[in-house]
């Protein structure tokens, strides 16, 4: 029997998760849903400090649905690094009825493929004193020895992780092409200023692109690309980004199609996948009962697809679309007066 682990997280995230679990229990009554608090336990191999109970629930489930956390080393460390979920997939598609700052958001339908394990989020940081003996210098001729008191963070780009995520993006473009999308991968990074690290990312992706002659490939420097996302989002199909740029630009991209309240994501590895909204734990609206649960619900729909339950996934997406099209009980971030609970009741009624 299929089992889903649900980790609600903290601050306002559990409110969106409770709403989503209500919907899932209506939608798929035969599936085991194990709701578990991340808790605090001993430090694991990846710095994670979740409870053993939570770790075991994640391990014994077919997939995990995660809320969001204000903790750096909770379940998320285990779900990303412990489970090697290296591909963070963030669809950016417009749903009719949702509030967009653009006059015509209808043709926005792309997906961000964000490398999910390395780059600056390898999180190796320290005091500059540690680097001084290495006498590192930059191509400008200046170097660590000349700098005073300070700290550093390491940006790690490895061949293996870059090849893996590049293949993932091109294969996704291929699958989408079969479904009528253009069949295009757009990559972006800062290879001009960081020719060694970001330049390596670009070099490898360009190499991999040659294996996919059926897929169009182009790239832009990241600052220009941040602008293009706003002015020509309808030209994008699959967008491949290193970890930190992917993190930042996915919040930006979400703004075009309704913002964080409606932006879902999935993190896929070779052996495991977990699903979470793009947003964080929204502390400023904790306890107000107004968090928009759409992002968590759409993440749950991605999970149902992963679990090979396409009918349930489609039913859930269609219900959400119906509620937005009818502008029924829309949450505050969408310009409505609906509480989380009222909006959720509308979704359940349309299932
Ligand atoms: P945030 O995404 O939690 O919130 C940013 C803004 O968007 C806030 O005004 C919030 O109220 C609003 N917002 C977010 N989700 C919403 C929703 N579903 N409905 C309506 N409004 C929504 O980002 P912030 O404030 O920068 O971070 C808060 C905490 O979340 C931090 O501790 C951060 O580390 C953590 N975080 C956790 C993530 C995760 O668990 N995957 C991801 C991002 C941040
Ligand atoms: Mg983020």
pTM over cut 0.95 = yes
Cβ of 149 less than 6 Å from ligand 1: no
Whether residue 38 has its Cβ less than 6 Å from ligand 1: no
What's the per-residue H, E or C state across 290-313? CCCCHHHHHHHHHHHHHCCCHHHH
Q: What is the distance in A from the centroid of ligand 2 to the CA of 249?
A: 9
Atom of ligand 1 nearest to the CA of 295: 18
The model's pLDDT over 42-81, given as tens digits with 9 standing for 90+, comes to: 999 999 999 999 999 999 999 999 999 999 889 999 999 9
Domain harbouring 53, CATH code:
3.40.718.10
Residue nearest to atom 6 of ligand 1 (CA): 282
The residue segments making up the domain with residue 199 are 101-109+157-256
210, 225, 256: which is the final residue of a domain?
A: 256
Distance 13 CA to ligand 1 centre (A): 8
Kindly state the average pLDDT of the residues 158-173: 98
How many independent structural domains does the chain possess? 3
Q: Is 73 in the pocket of ligand 1 (CB under 6 A)?
A: no
Ligand 1, atom 13, lies closest to the CA of 282
Neighbours of 216 (CB within 10 A): 15
pLDDT (average), residues 297-320: 98
224 lies in the same domain as 271: no
Give the mean pLDDT of 234-256: 98
Compute CA distances 112 → 58, 120, 198, 292, whole Å: 25, 18, 18, 22
For residue 115, being part of any structural domain is answered with no
Q: How far is CA 252 from CA 96, 214, 219, 246, in A?
A: 19, 29, 18, 10
Three-class secondary structure of residue 218 per DSSP: strand
Please indicate whether residue 282, judged by its CB atom, sits closer than 6 Å to ligand 1. Answer: yes
């Amino acid at each position: 029997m299929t089992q889903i682990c649900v980790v609600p997280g903290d601050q306002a995230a559990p409110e969106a998760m409770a709403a989503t679990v209500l919907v899932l229990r209506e939608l798929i009554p035969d599936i085991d849903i194990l709701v578990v608090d991340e808790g605090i336990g001993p430090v694991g191999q990846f710095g994670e400090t979740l409870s053993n109970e939570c770790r075991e629930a994640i391990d014994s489930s077919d997939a995990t649905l995660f809320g969001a956390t204000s903790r750096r080393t909770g379940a998320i460390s285990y779900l990303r690094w412990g489970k090697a979920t290296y591909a963070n997939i963030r669809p950016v598609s417009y749903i009719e009825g949702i509030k967009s700052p653009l006059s015509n958001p209808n043709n926005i339908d792309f997906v961000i493929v964000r490398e999910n394990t390395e780059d600056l989020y390898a999180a190796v940081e320290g005091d500059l004193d540690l680097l001084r003996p290495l006498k590192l210098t930059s191509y400008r001729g200046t170097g660590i020895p000349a700098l005073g008191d300070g700290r550093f963070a390491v940006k790690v780009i490895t061949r293996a992780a870059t090849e893996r995520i590049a293949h993932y993006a091109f294969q996704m473009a291929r699958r989408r092409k079969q479904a009528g999308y253009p069949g295009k991968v757009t990559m972006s990074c800062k290879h001009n200023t960081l020719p060694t690290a970001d330049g390596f990312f670009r070099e490898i992706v360009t190499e991999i692109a040659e294996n996919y002659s059926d897929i169009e490939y182009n790239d832009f420097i990241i600052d220009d690309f941040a602008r293009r996302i706003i002015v020509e989002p309808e030209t994008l199909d699959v967008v491949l980004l290193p970890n930190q740029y992917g993190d930042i630009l996915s919040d930006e991209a979400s703004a075009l199609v309704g913002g964080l309240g409606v932006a879902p994501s999935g993190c896929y590895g070779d052996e495991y996948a977990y699903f979470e909204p793009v947003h964080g734990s929204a502390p400023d609206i904790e306890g107000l009962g107004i968090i928009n649960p759409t992002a968590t619900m759409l993440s749950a729909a991605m999970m149902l697809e992963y679990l090979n339950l396409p009918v349930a996934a489609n039913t859930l997406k269609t219900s959400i679309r119906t509620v937005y099209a009818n502008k029924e009980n829309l949450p505050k971030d969408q310009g409505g007066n609906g509480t989380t609970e009222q909006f959720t009741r509308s979704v359940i009624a349309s299932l």
